[in-house]
Structure formats: structure tokens, C-alpha cells
Chains A and B, each alone.
Chain A
Amino acid sequence: MSRLGKIARRTFLIGSATVAGGVAFGTYLYKRPIPNPLLETLAEGEAAITPYVKIDARGITLITPRADKGQGAYSLQAMLIAEELDIDPASATLTPGAPGPAYYNWAVLEEGVPMPAYDQSGAAKAMREFMAVPAKLFQMQMTGGSSTVPDSYVKLRMAGAVARETLKEAAAQREGLSRDALKTENGAVLLPDGRQIAYTDLAADAALIEPVMDVALRPASEWTLLGKPDMKRLDMVAKCTGTEVYGIDYAVDGMLFASVCANPGIGGEVIGFDASEAETMRGVKKIVPVAHGVGVIADNTWRALRAVNAIKCTWGPAPYPADSAEIFAKLDAAVDDEDSFDHRQRNEGDVDAALTADEGAVFEAAYKIPYLAHAPMEPMNAIVLVTDDGCDVWTGTQIPLFVRNKAAALTGLENDQVRVHVQPMGGSFGHKLEMTHVEQAVELALAVKGTPVKLTWSREEDMTHDYPRPAAVARGRGIVKGGKVETFDLSVGQSAMAPNWFGRLSGLSLPGPDATITTGSWDQPFAIPNYRVTGYRAPDMVPVSSWRSVGASGNGFFHDCFLDELIHEAGADPLEERLRLCLDDPSRKVLEAVGEMSGWNGPSLGENRGRGVAFCLSFGVPTAHVIEVTNTAAGIKMDKVYSVVDTGEVLDPTNLEAQVFGGLLYGLSHAIYNELTYENYAAQQTNYHDYEGLRIYQVPKIEVKALTNGPRIRGVGEPGLPPAAPALANAIFAATGQRIREMPFIKHIDFV
């Protein structure tokens, strides 16, 4: 069988037990096919040929199980199915479907393997494929890690192709023809005599035959939807007319409205509260204690918010240091401390020997990044209805099966008695990989069984109860010789993120090192004679989570800025030296392309002007930005950005561009302005007035280019972010001579 056929069989979910491997734990369970969940709920006359396509006499429904938080996931998943199914995707109903193990994410754990993304050896590929095993076992129906496209690329086109061929087979049997004699177009089978039979008319027949599995995918040259420059997102009209229904907009008949206040020292106890004033306020129905806080159920969200503000709470301490100074002292103490050693996945040459041989020549620099809130525009919300024999949850989430299991545990129901209805999200950036708000909504709903309760967090609750991007510190030591970077040694100190998050969601511990401490620095495609990156694990402090681009959000800054400093020490050109050191062909072409686009001829652009280049390989996507700045009397002004990515293939050029400049701007915004600082266990930033984002007048002109030299297709929701901050820091150095080694940059220099 061809390689594509093998992948297709393994990733496709009906009746396919032919997997490669037979490795380690759970092979039997892994090999057992997962039933098609749509088959359990079909009505007479409906056909669910695959877990992704459901057809009845009224129409076609496409199941798009990766959640949409603004990145265009629903739209692209529908396009992938429609490309092979031969339907107009705008004519279909899209639904994320009922969460279930069939929709596990094949690709999401790939980043965790101990091989860098540019390693295309057989062992590295096998290891990545093996990560599908735990993904399936843990029922990782999860959206994240820029994995929707790589996970769906073959799987969903196969789903469309199997459905199409099965519908053709149904038509062939009805008409007494050979399937080969039939064609399909725009939701119908075309017969040789020119007649058409609509798919909807064939659904009942198709449900009675075995799905046709031996299908071949069309080559890109035959695509009619994917890859076209004029692709339009299917959610665009709704989002421009106020008709998109987000979780916060969803309504259930008879629902009440609620809000909560929880201990701002996350995980701290409630010593006591006085709700006597809140109880008397108009519209208040019930005051309900919840874990670590208290909630108000009312007849209107504003009344609930106002009543929550009237409750006087006494909070206990949180189980972490009380303020930022103590927290950073612990991070500083972890770096280069043997007892805090976590992992070292890059160790080439002999760094120790090089550093001790010429101590006087060692160049050192220290970097620091703060905790960051995700702060998507839509605050956390969930509607929950609990009855004696079931529980319904309506919420925007990236982790529907964790939500289901947790709701079941809290209500005492079985997992299959909980129905999670995933709603579109008004942004996430990783925020909705958490579910504390759902747990609170379940607690509230349990207090008024039979009545649905819609919980909305205030912006202040959302900012101060975010599980933030971890704070981290890094120390670099290096040596340059003969105009070249010769020794590069980076030590990063951070609390563990992945075990913290996974434990909170599942109750399970995640043993072993936490790769996120150095993701984005240990795995860069450079050949430096003495090259070492080490992760040190600080104690658990503020509970932390994934934030757009995860480990690479900080490590991209540490690695590239320190490299830029060494290149400057060497007296080399920033772009030329990165190119000289680069060992990966697609990555080199990305750097060359950004040089050509920007007309690179050195970092200086004249008096008070400069440009910086930065590079990071994250989520398998080599990405480079060149940023041009002017040092004006009013502060640093960003003039222009050139961005190049390599995603292997491009499915939606318009949305790709938006994701790249979106990631870039999210990265710049936080690098310049944002931090969560802690006092008395609580985050001090409570709303957008003290957690500012870039505004339109500050946004430079941006040019984006996508290359396709990479070995396979990749997702691009995150890779634009990691090189954004270092490109700006390097540009500021070029324009002013000032190195900025700490975020937010505004602590060190003004911006227009």
C-alpha cells in the first residue's frame, strides 16, 4: 500500500485496524477501531457514512470536531471534506458534533517528541507517529498546538471521498450501473444519461451498504476549493452581521444568569463571606458557594455581576509565593541549579570546556519574561443544565472530553449522560484549554436542578483567574571567534507547565521532564560548534497553562535575542550569520526570503532607524520576521514588518496571512505592554486599562509570504508569534543601541 494509503487507513476510523507499530502499552486497545458515533443516533432515512458526514433527505451535515476560536478551523475542516465530497460547503450545516473518542487528535502530541521538527530521519518520523497512540488512549479530542490542519488534512478528505464513493455505489446499485460510470458534482451523482440524483435522495440507500473504503485522494492539481486565492471563510458573513452565536450569546429556554467571585489567590480557600446585602438585591435568586468562591444566580447577568460585587469575602492564602519578587527569586534560583535540572535535549561539542578555556571572552546576558493572561475578547462562560438523569453543557471549549468527564464526576452521572455542546469562541489563545468556569457552572446548576444556568465571568474575574503563560528567566553564555558564533549555552528556568495543566484537567500526573521549558530554544535548526540548551524546573507556583505558541512564546525570545547578541559581538551581519549557521534547507530558504523581501543590507537604516531579524522554528513551521523601527521623540515607532513562513502546503492563503500577522501582533502586543504581577497572591491587572493591547494606530504595514519547501503540511495559528518579540528587540537595538532583555519592553523604552 502506498504511504498515503497507509496514513489514510490508520487515521480513518471505520473498520480500520491495520496500524503500523505494535509498540509498548495498549496496542490492543489502540488497534481496536472506535465506533462511528453518528451511527448511534441516526433516524430512519439518515446515513452517516463516516464520523464526519451525515446526510438525510433535508440536507448534508459536516462534522468539524476541532473547535473554532477564531482561527478558521470550522471553515477549513468543512472545505477539506467538501473538496472530495463535491458539495458547496456553504450549503451544508456545520456542527462540531457530539464530542467523542472517534474525534481524537492524531497530531496534537507530536510536538512532545524529543526530536526537533527539522529531523526527518526514520526514527523521528516513527516517534511522531507513535504519539497518536496516547492521543487516542487519552481521548485527546483537543484543539491546540497548531494541529488542526496536519491532523485533518488526510482524515477529512478521506471522509469526503468515502462518502462520495459510497453515495455513487448506492446510485449505481439503484440504476444497475457500474460505479465507475458515475460522476459527482455539487451534491449530486451524475448518471451517464445526464440525469442527476441528489445525495439527499440517496441517503437512505447509502445507509444500507458497506462504505466504499478503497478510495484515492485527488491530487492538489484537481482541487476546486482548497488552495485558491479567493477562498472565503464560511463564518465571515455571520461574524460581520452580529449573527454568529458565541457561547456567551447562546440561550436556553428558562435559563437563569449567574456570575462568581473566586479567591484571587488561585486555589486558596474561602474563609468566609457575607452575602446579606447581595441577597436582597433585585433579581437575585440564590447565593451558591462554589469551590474557592461564591456565586450568584439571578435573572439577568448584570444583576448577577452587581450582586457578586456586593459580597464581602475573606480569602485564605494561595499555595504559592505571595508576590512577584518572591516568584522571580525562585525562578532565578532554579537556573543552573543542579537540583532543579529538568532536561537537556541539545548538547553539542563541549560547552563547559569552551567556556572555561577562555573565561575572559565569555559573553553573558540574562533574560526575563512575565506571567501573561490570555485575555480573549469573550470572557469565560458556560450554560449548564443538570437533571436527575443527565447534564447538558453549552460552552466554547478546546477540550470537550475533559469537560464531559469533569461534569460527570461533579454530578455523579456517567460520562455518557453528559452532553457537551461546543460553541464558537470569541478568541481563546489557549484560555479555553481550561475549564474552571464550567466546574463552577455545574456547581451552580446543581443548586437549581432542572433549571439551566448561564455563568458569565466578569472581565475582572477572567483576568485574575486566568491560568497564565508561565513566567521564566534565562541565562546565556557564549563565545565568538574569528567573526563567528562558536559557543552558545542557554539555561532556562520555569515552573513546569504541561504536568500542571494536565493534572488539573485529568487528575493524572504526567511523569518525566516538561519539554515546554525549552520548546522553541533547544530545537532550533542551527549548527554551532558548542551548543547547549538546558531546562531547569522551578517549583510549581501560580498555576500555569498553554498560551499561544506555548513554550516557544518565551524561548523564541531567549534563543533568538541571545543569538543576535552573540552575532553582534562577533561583528557579523545578523542575517548572514544566521544563514551560515542554519542547517535546515526549508529554514534557510525562509531566512533568504525574508532578506529578499526586506531588501536586507544590514541592521542600520540611517539615523534613529534600524531593523531586526528573528527566526524561530515552532510547530514544524520555520518562521522569520524583519521589523523596521524608528526611534522618534515620542518613542519607538514600528514602521514595517516582513514575515515569511513555510507550512509545507498552503490550503487557504487568505486565512494563512491573517493567522501569521495575527500571531505576530499578539506577540508584539504582549512583548511591549503586558505582564501579570502578583501581590498578596492576586494578579494586579484586572482589565484592559492595565493590560493594554496594540491599537490600530500603532500597527505597522505587514507583508506575509508563505513558502512550501517543508516536508509536510503544518498549521500556522501559532508560529507567527515566537519570532515577533525578538525581531522587535533586535530592531530596537539597531535603532538605539539599547538591548532589551525583559518583557514587557515598555519598562525599558517608550513606544509611540
Chain B
Amino acid sequence: MKLSVNGTDHEVDVEPDMPLLWVLRDELGITGPKYGCGIAQCGACTVHVDGLAVRSCQLAIGDLAGAVTTIEGLGQPDALHAVQEAWIAHQVAQCGYCQSGQIMSAASFLEGNPDPTDDDIDAAMSANLCRCGTYPRIRAAVKTAAAKLKEA
């Protein structure tokens, strides 16, 4: 089975019903997307498929139709995406385990809604769970990222 992740083509020999999450983590060693619940309740596994945020724990590899971007492909420590910059500026992460998913959700959301209201942000980000309670800073960071992306 073939797939493109972060601009690189891969071929994997797996069952078609294996979730994309486990192909990424255990077959390709791409561990930015996290296993949190396995039932699309927490959003820690969020990646982009052709730019849209999807829960990789629920997407069977056999149903994948598009290029995959993980947090590692969004930006790197020396080449940060605007959302990551905002996350760092607001010191959002505590344990950080959910933040790959939070950032991927935010980046996809801001692509489609560059000028969000507070309610828009709350609605868009409510499918991502954070047990540490970093929500106040997530809110602030999404706003900062939106402003930054508009300038660009």
C-alpha cells in the first residue's frame, strides 16, 4: 500500500483496515500524532489529509485518498508554522501530549476561517480534548496565529 506523508512517498505492507495512526506510528516511526482514545473522542491523533483535519485513529489506511501531513510536516523547531509560533509565544503546552492534535486542528481551521470570532474558535477547537486544561492559552494562541497569518 502506498501513501505520501509530509511530502515523502512510502510503501507499507499492512491490512487495509489498519488505522492511519498506527501505520504512521508503528510502521513509519512518525510519532507526532498520538494515541489517546482510539475512538475519535480526544483528537490527539489529528493529521491533515489534503489540508483537512482528520482523526487518524478512525481512518483506515485502505480508505486513505490524499496526501498526509503530520505535525512534523507542518513545521519544525527551526522552521515553525505560524500556529506553532503562537503556541510557543503563549506557552500553551503543559504535558503537551494533545498539542500535536490541537495545533493540527487549529491550522486546518484557520485555513478555512482566517478571521474567526471567539465563538468560531470555541466551536472549531471543542473536538480536541486537553486534560491539563490549557484551553485559555489555546484560545489566545489561535487568535495570535490568525492575526499573524493574515499579515502574511
The residues of A with any CB-CB pair to B shorter than 8 Å are 69-72, 232-233, 235-246, 248-249, 251, 257, 282, 300-303, 305, 375-379, 425-429, 456, 458-459, 654-655, 658-659, 661-666, 669, 687-689, 693-697, 699, 701-702
Contact = CB atoms under 8 A, between A and B. Distances in A.
Contacts of A377: 34, 36, 42, 44, 95, 97-98, 129-131
Query: Which of B44, B75, B136, B139 neighbours the largest number of chain A CB atoms within 10 Å of its CB?
Result: B136
Contacts of A694: 133, 135
Contacts of B131: 375-377, 427, 429, 666, 693
Nearest to B94: A70
A224 B27 CA distance: 45
B122 A697 contact: yes
Contacts of A237: 77, 88
B64 to A, nearest CB: 15
A651 to B, nearest CB: 15
Contact of A244 (B96, B130, B136): B96
B146 interface: no
B54 interface: no
A240 B93 contact: yes
Given A241-B76, A242-B70, A695 B129 contact: yes
The 10 closest A-B pairs by CB, nearest first: A242-B32, A70-B95, A426-B97, A239-B96, A665-B133, A242-B71, A302-B22, A697-B122, A249-B31, A239-B93
Contact of A459 (B19, B29, B36, B125): B36
Given A376-B131, A426-B97, 19 more contacts: A70-B93, A70-B96, A233-B93, A236-B88, A238-B77, A238-B96, A240-B87, A242-B100, A243-B76, A377-B34, A377-B129, A378-B97, A427-B97, A456-B35, A459-B38, A459-B39, A694-B133, A696-B128, A696-B138
Interface of B: 14-15, 18-19, 22, 25-27, 29, 31-39, 41-42, 44, 70-72, 75-77, 80, 84, 87-88, 91-100, 103, 121-123, 125-139
B102 to A, nearest CB: 9
B63 to A, nearest CB: 15
Contacts of B33: 242
Nearest to B29: A251
A427 B93 CA distance: 11
A303 B25 CA distance: 13
B39 A241 contact: no
Contacts, number: 180
B69 to A, nearest CB: 11
Contact of A241 (B77, B135, B138): B77
A695 B98 CA distance: 13
A689 B134 contact: no
B22 A662 contact: no
Given A701-B136, A702-B136, A69 B126 contact: no
Contacts of B14: 300
Contacts of B92: 240
A293 to B, nearest CB: 19
Given A237-B88, A246-B97, A302-B19, A689 B39 contact: yes
A323 B27 CA distance: 42
A697 B22 contact: no
B84 A235 contact: no
Nearest to A231: B91
B41 A687 contact: yes
Contacts of B99: 239-240
A233 B95 CA distance: 11
A240 B75 CA distance: 9
Contacts of B70: 242
Contacts of B44: 377
A618 to B, nearest CB: 18
B91 A687 contact: no
Contacts of A300: 14, 18, 22, 26-27
B41 A696 contact: no
B138 A669 contact: no
16 contacts: A70-B132, A72-B94, A233-B93, A238-B77, A242-B33, A301-B22, A377-B44, A378-B97, A427-B97, A427-B131, A427-B132, A456-B35, A687-B38, A696-B125, A696-B130, A699-B135
Contacts of B129: 377, 688, 693, 695
Nearest to A689: B41
A659 B137 CA distance: 12
B91 A696 contact: no
Contact of B133 (A302, A662, A687): A662
Given A70-B95, A240-B103, A688 B37 contact: yes
Contacts of B42: 377, 688
A249 to B, nearest CB: 4
Contacts of A429: 131
Contacts of A669: 133
A697 B96 contact: no
Contacts of B123: 697
Query: Which of B34, B91, B95, B138 neighbours the largest number of chain A CB atoms within 10 Å of its CB?
Result: B95
Contact of B94 (A71, A282, A378): A71
A426 B96 contact: yes
Given A69-B95, A232-B91, A240-B88, A696 B139 contact: yes
Query: Which of B88, B92, B123 neighbours the largest number of chain A CB atoms within 10 Å of its CB?
Result: B88
Given A245-B31, A427-B95, A687 B22 contact: no
Contacts of B136: 661, 699, 701-702
A47 B122 CA distance: 52
A426 B77 contact: no
A244 B33 CA distance: 11
Contacts of B72: 241-243
B88 A662 contact: no
A301 B29 CA distance: 12
B75 A235 contact: no
A52 B19 CA distance: 43
